[in-house]
Every structure is written in C-alpha cells, then in structure tokens.
C-alpha cells in the first residue's frame, strides 16, 4: 500500500522534522506535529452524510417524510455532479430548519444508533487504509466537514479520527435546536477552522495533508503542504492536474459491521481521468436513486391526496 510521504520513494515519519541549526524558530518547527485533514462526504464516505442519515431520522420521528424527500432532492446535484457553496449553504439552512425543536441529545442518540446501518456500509475502504497509514506515521487525523457536528463527530470516531471540526447548530437553553446555524464552515470558514485547529494542536500545515473532493475546498487544500484530490469534481480535477497534485479515486465502500480485510492497494495518479465505479458503488448509487424515487413519490402522494383522507 502506498504510504503518505513527502516524496513517493520515502517512508512516512512521525511527522517531526530533524532538528536544524538556526535558533528557536527552527527548533519550534522541528517540534511541531503533522496532521491529515479529511473532508467527509465523497472523501471518506461514498455518499452524503445527511442523505445517509435521512431515513433513520424519519423513522425516529425527527423529520417528516415530506421534509426528507425535499432534502434528498436537494442533495442530488451534489451527489451526482458536485455543488457550489451557495447550493450547500441553502441545503444547510434547510437542514437546520428541519431540526428546529428537536432535542440535541435525542438527535445525537439517533445518529449513533444509525452508524452501523446507515454509515458503516458507505465508508471507503481506501480511506480507511489511508487513515491507518497516517496513523502509523504518527499524524493527527482530523475530519473537517460543513455538515453538522452532531453527525460528523460520531462518524469521525467510527473511522478512527482523533477529532472533528464541523458546522455547529444553535441550541437553546432547553437543549433543543433553534433551527439556526451558530457557526458554519462554508464560504472560506473551513480553511479558517483548519488553521485554528493547527494553532491549537501545534500542527505544521507545511508538513500536513488535506483531502477533499470539491473545488469549494480549494482554500483548505492550498493551506497545506500536501493537498490531495479525492474523487474530485471536474473543476478540482482540472486544478489538481494544473497544480501537480495527486488524485485518488476511491471506489470500494467497505462494511465496517464486518471484520476488516487485509489492506488493499489504492490508486495514485496525477492524470485526469474518470474513475470506473466498482459494483459496490454502483449498487449504492442505485439504492439511493430507488430511495429518492420512493420518498418523492410518497411525499407527492401525501401532499396531493384529499384532506379528508389524511
């Protein structure tokens, strides 16, 4: 398996550079740690976090079928071709409104209960291999996502990350979501969050890695010494080719409910090409499409049938 290294021929280190002469500043840089910052959706997961958790949320009564259907439809552009930050911002606003009045503790409980059935089957095997390679090298593993922290943090724990940085929903004095966003990681805030995390944990961004699928994360990728495009959208794939960044095409979700298999090789290429999806990814996509159709149909039926029959 290819390891995360400064150069393809070198072995990974513990993330600390050898001491050099030249005073205190050089000595401090030598003591700094190295981190690997991972986006979540379509980088660690083969789908969208909110899409994967939608059905468990509906079954628990946290959201309605109609709200879920609207959310799923809103997710389709991102799932299929990627989405810009304005689209993502509208989606996050919609999701925040859907959760208004829900107890934060209850929301987190549903997420944790759904990890095995909704999230574990969608984790990329290649992402797990890469996370493990960084861990062996002594690097901090950090998930950085614009999705809500109540969803992101349990998933980060599931895949073995050290911590997560995510969007924060506003919570009132009774511990219920207000329907508003307290702190968003959109519109450049993701790179600010990464920089703040690096400062808080004495991380050298120059020696660190960042992984993402979206051109909207260009500032985050450019903030580190080792940017990597994973399953990139068209614009990010072009930027990676122009910048000489590595491109990783992940194609194999692995079900974490079953024992881990031996490490699998993962493709490394600087060329611009479309990945050939595996049978698992195709099956997952087909399942999503079928689920979307069923939800939209159900929502339409509920909305259009006569009031007296509801």
The string of pLDDT tens digits covering residues 133-152 is: 999 999 999 999 988 999 99
Q: What digits encode the pLDDT tens for the residues 179-202?
A: 999 998 876 799 999 999 999 999
Q: What average pLDDT does range 281-308 have in this prediction?
A: 44
What is the percentage of the chain residues whose pLDDT exceeds 70?
A: 63
More confident residue, 90 or 214: 214
Q: Which residue among 6, 39, 105, 255 is the active-site one?
A: 39
- The span from the CA of 91 to the CA of 304, in Å, is 24
**Residue 39 designated active-site:** yes
254 — pLDDT class (breaks 50, 70, 90): confident
In the set 6, 41, 129, 162, the catalytic residue is 41
Statement: residue 214 has pLDDT above 50: yes
| pLDDT, mean of residues 267-289 | 39
Which tops the pLDDT comparison, 1 or 224?
224
Q: Which residue has the tokens 């993502």?
A: 88
| CA–CA gap between residue 86 and residue 245 (Å, rounded) | 26
DSSP H or E stretch at residue 57:
helix 49-59
Structure tokens belonging to residue 90: 């509208």
Q: How far is CA 240 from the centre of its chain?
A: 19
The CA–CA distances, whole Å, from 77 to 82, 161, 207 equal 6, 28, 34
Domains and CATH numbers, the chain: 32-309 (3.40.50.1000)
Rounded to the nearest integer, the mean pLDDT of the chain is: 77
Asked whether the whole model's pTM tops 0.85, one would answer no
**Tokens at residue 175, please?**
């511990």
Q: What is the pLDDT of residue 255?
A: 63
Query: Is position 14 annotated as part of the catalytic site?
Result: no
pLDDT at 77: 58
Task: Of 215, 213, 194, 288, give the one whose Cα is nearest residue 251.
Answer: 213
- Average pLDDT for 120-131: 95
* Range list of β-strands (E), 187-225: 209-212
């Amino acid at each position: 398996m290819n390891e995360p290294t400064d150069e393809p021929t070198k072995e990974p280190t513990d993330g600390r550079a050898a001491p050099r002469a030249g005073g205190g500043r050089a000595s401090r840089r030598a003591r700094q740690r190295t981190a690997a910052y991972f986006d979540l959706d379509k980088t660690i997961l083969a789908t969208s976090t909110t899409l994967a958790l939608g059905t468990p949320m509906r079954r628990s009564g946290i959201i309605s079928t109609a709200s879920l259907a609207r959310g799923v439809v809103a997710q389709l552009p991102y799932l299929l071709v990627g989405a810009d930050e304005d689209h993502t911002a509208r989606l996050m606003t919609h999701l925040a409104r859907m959760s208004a009045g829900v107890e934060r503790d209850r929301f987190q409980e549903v997420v944790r209960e759904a990890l095995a059935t909704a999230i574990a089957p969608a984790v990329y095997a290649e992402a797990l291999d890469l996370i493990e390679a960084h861990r062996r090298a002594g690097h901090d593993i950090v998930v950085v996502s614009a999705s809500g922290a109540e969803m992101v943090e349990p998933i980060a724990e599931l895949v073995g990350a050290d911590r997560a940085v995510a969007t924060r929903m506003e919570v009132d004095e009774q511990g219920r979501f207000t329907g508003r966003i307290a702190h968003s990681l959109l519109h450049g805030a993701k790179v600010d969050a990464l920089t703040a995390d690096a400062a808080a944990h004495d991380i050298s961004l120059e020696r660190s890695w960042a992984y993402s699928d979206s051109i909207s994360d260009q500032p985050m990728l450019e903030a580190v010494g080792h940017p990597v495009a994973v399953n990139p959208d068209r614009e990010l794939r072009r930027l990676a080719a122009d910048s000489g960044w590595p491109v990783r095409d992940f194609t194999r979700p692995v079900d974490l409910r079953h024992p881990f298999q031996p490490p699998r090789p993962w493709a490394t290429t600087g060329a611009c090409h479309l990945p050939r999806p595996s049978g698992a990814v195709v099956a997952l996509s087909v399942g999503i499409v079928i689920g979307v159709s069923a939800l939209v149909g159900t929502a339409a039926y509920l909305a259009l049938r006569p009031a007296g029959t509801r």
